[in-house]
Amino acid sequence: MKIIGNRSFDILIANHYSLITTYKHTMRTFFASILLISSFSVTAQFSDSLFVTPSNRGELMQRLMSIPCGIHATDNVKTICQKLEKFLISYKNDPNFPDDKFAKAANWQALKSVKMGGYGIGAVIYENKTRKILHAAHNSQMTKLRSDLHGEMTLLNEFEDNPKNKKYRNKYVCKEGLTIFSSAEPCPMCFIRIATVGVDTKFCTAGPDDGMTQRVQCLPPYWRDLASKHKCEKAQSSPVMQMISHVLFYSYMLDNRHV
């Protein structure tokens, strides 16, 4: 048996300790990098050019694949919905964006509609003081074959028909202190309905083709004045929630369900 001298043994131990220390440092750096990449992939900004109307299914798929949930160009609608659903379930609201709670809830409703064969718009109504969501709904045009059942319209119909919500209403209008949060900017029909009800509005993603926020001056004077009494503004939602709202809004391009 070879005997190692005291000095040689000390050097061996020192080298061994140095290797362990280097290994630990390397692993810490590796896992820190993974966490940083994961965080960046969720909170990364999306170019403004991605929030215009897609010209075709291919463009929409590119935007879907930009969401960090593993969507591939060959995925069908069912698989896309499953991946978006898994992402939303695991998504933690970003504290830097105070409206993420409502964006996630509205997007969940929009996804439900897509899974049912409908259009991808969802909405919730909440109490400003408590930030409690009082009701949630989604577009039901395709499922109920009703031309009027946009996301916000369905939400208000169900909210008004529920006797439990009587305390929030004054005849056919709502009392102050409520906000409707929609995954997409309200169209003219929904915009006027919300103005008539008398609540504030927030939306996750803008509607470049039919949104009313930048088109209020096109309304007749009476409706323009009525609409000016309450806020309608883009929410403070994280970029990834905005992108999910955007792609769900145009999800009908995936299978031409609007034809």
pLDDT, residue 158, reads: 98
Say whether pLDDT at 18 is over 70. Answer: no
**Complete DSSP assignment for 36-48:** HHHHHHHH----G
> Which of 35-39, 183-187, 201-205, 222-226 has the lowest average pLDDT?
35-39
Percentage with pLDDT > 70 across the chain? 81
The residue count for the chain: 259
Exposure of 231 in the CB half-sphere (CA atoms within 13 A): 12
Alpha helices in 44-150 (DSSP H): 57-65, 77-90, 100-115, 141-144
Q: How confident is the model at residue 138 (pLDDT cuts 50, 70, 90)?
A: very high
pLDDT, residue 93, reads: 96
Distances (CA, A) of 65 to 233, 243, 252: 28, 11, 16
Sign of CA dihedral 116, 118, 121, 127: negative
Q: Between the ranges 11-20, 131-140, 200-209, where is the mean pLDDT highest?
A: 131-140
pLDDT, residue 51, reads: 81
Question: How buried is 173 (Cβ within 10 angstroms: 0-12 exposed, 13-18 middle, 19+ buried)?
Answer: exposed
* H or E stretch covering 170: strand 169-170
pLDDT, residue 209, reads: 84
Token pair recorded at residue 192: 């006027």
Q: How confident is the model at residue 115 (pLDDT cuts 50, 70, 90)?
A: very high
Say whether pLDDT at 22 is over 90. Answer: no
**Mean pLDDT, to the nearest integer, of 62-84?**
97
Tens digits of residue pLDDT in 217-245: 999 999 999 999 999 999 999 999 999 99
Q: Which CATH number fits domain 44-254: 3.40.50.1010, 3.40.140.10, 3.40.50.720, 3.90.850.10?
A: 3.40.140.10
The model's pTM is 0.81
Q: How confident is the model at residue 210 (pLDDT cuts 50, 70, 90)?
A: confident
pLDDT, residue 29, reads: 44
What residue segments make up the domains of the chain, in order of their start? 44-254
d(CA 80, CA 82): 5
Say whether pLDDT at 36 is over 50. Answer: no
d(CA 67, CA 63): 7
Do the Cβ atoms of 250 and 60 come closer than 8 Å? yes
Other Cβ atoms within 10 Å of 246 Cβ, number: 28
